[in-house]
């Protein structure tokens, strides 16, 4: 330290020793420094209290802001979780929408298939109804035919009863004639009557014309185009070129058949001739033309 500095320091100390008492005495004369000190102390206490109050308020505000920050953070986390949940739900809804779209397409295809199947079933049902109607019509025809046949059987049974009674009457008459003949032979002394002939005697006279052939009756078994098959053949006298008459229900004329060369012992094939509004069909009856014309 230099001398000048030392002198300057000493002067400063002297001046401070002199100036401080002067300043204190001046302040004592002009102001009440104790009261001023008390006022400063009170103001300091008030300022300290205010500071502590402000610090408490600040701390309270800080805590409140921390609480608000925590709440906002929790709210943000909750919102983030909700966003994630909504994103998950959205993905599930998108997947369900896609599944529903695929299901709708499948149901559309199934509906189309069911509609087509229903159309086929409907057509099949209509065909079955037509077949049923035809079967019922055929059944009605068969019933009518059966009734007619039953009537015919009853008529034939009645005729058979009448013929049986007539035969019995004839047999009774023959027996009476035989008894009368036997009685006359005994009365005239001619002897007993000879036994019944087993074989017929040989005729000595010649017939003027050929005997009429026996009637030929049959049934149509199959129809194919213009050809029809009947269930009688050469054993019944059917020959190639013979003419057969086709009848329905015994009296309704249907057509004629010209027998072809396909003649078997029990069946023959004929060509359809003179067919009009009625068509030949299996079950129709046939009769040879000569017998039909002799009716």
The domain locations on the chain are 217-293
- 172: tokens are 């009774």
Look at residues 249, 258, 286 and name the one whose alpha carbon lies nearest to residue 141: 249
Rounded Cα gap, residues 294 and 245, in angstroms = 13
Look at residues 42, 40, 18, 43 and name the one whose alpha carbon lies nearest to residue 31: 40
Rounded Cα gap, residues 265 and 235, in angstroms = 5
Nearby residues of 290 by Cβ (< 8 Å), 6 or more positions away: 212, 213
Beta bridge partners of residue 244, listed in sequence order: 257, 288
Rg (CA), the chain: 72
Nearby residues of 212 by Cβ (< 8 Å), 6 or more positions away: 290, 294
Nearby residues of 129 by Cβ (< 8 Å), 6 or more positions away: none
Task: Name the more confident of 59 and 2.
Answer: 59
Mean pLDDT of the chain: 81
Rounded Cα gap, residues 63 and 211, in angstroms = 146
Rounded Cα gap, residues 285 and 221, in angstroms = 10
Rounded Cα gap, residues 260 and 270, in angstroms = 5
What is the average per-residue pLDDT within 44-51?
A: 83
* pLDDT band (50, 70, 90) for residue 172: confident
* Residue found by looking up tokens 């009170």 in the block: 42
Range in 95-109, 122-136, 176-190 with the lowest mean pLDDT? 176-190
Query: Residue 198's pLDDT is what?
Result: 37
What is the CA 209 to chain-centroid distance, rounded?
74
- The model's pLDDT over 226-282, given as tens digits with 9 standing for 90+, comes to 899 999 999 888 999 999 999 988 888 889 999 999 999 999 999 998 777 788 999
Class of 217-293 in CATH: mainly beta
Range in 3-7, 126-130, 131-135, 260-264 with the lowest mean pLDDT? 3-7
């Amino acid at each position: 330290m230099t001398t000048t500095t030392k002198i300057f320091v000493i002067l400063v100390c002297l001046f401070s020793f002199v100036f401080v008492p002067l300043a204190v005495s001046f302040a004592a004369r002009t102001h009440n420094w104790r009261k001023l000190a008390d006022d400063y102390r009170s103001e300091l206490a008030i300022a300290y209290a205010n500071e502590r109050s402000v610090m408490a308020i600040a701390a309270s505000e800080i805590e409140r802001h921390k609480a608000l920050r925590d709440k906002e953070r929790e709210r943000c986390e909750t919102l983030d979780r909700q966003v994630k949940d909504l994103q998950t739900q959205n993905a599930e809804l998108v997947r369900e929408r896609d599944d529903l779209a695929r299901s709708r397409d499948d149901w559309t295809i199934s509906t189309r298939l069911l509609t087509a199947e229903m159309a086929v079933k409907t057509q099949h049902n209509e065909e079955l109804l037509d077949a049923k109607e035809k079967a019922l019509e055929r059944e009605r025809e068969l019933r009518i035919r059966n009734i007619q046949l039953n009537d015919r059987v009853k008529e034939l049974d009645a005729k058979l009863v009448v013929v049986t009674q007539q035969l019995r009457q004839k047999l009774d008459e023959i027996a009476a004639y035989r008894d009368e003949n036997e009685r006359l032979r005994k009365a005239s002394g001619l002897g007993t009557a000879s036994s019944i002939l087993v074989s017929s005697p040989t005729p000595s006279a010649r017939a003027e014309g050929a005997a009429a052939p026996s009637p030929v009756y049959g049934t149509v078994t199959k129809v194919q185009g213009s050809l029809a098959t009947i269930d009688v053949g050469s054993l019944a006298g059917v020959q190639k070129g013979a003419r057969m008459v086709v009848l329905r229900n015994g009296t309704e004329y249907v057509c004629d058949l010209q027998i072809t060369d396909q003649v078997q012992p029990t069946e023959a094939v004929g060509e359809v001739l003179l067919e009009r509004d009625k068509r030949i069909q299996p079950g129709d009856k046939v009769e040879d033309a000569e017998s039909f014309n002799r009716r």
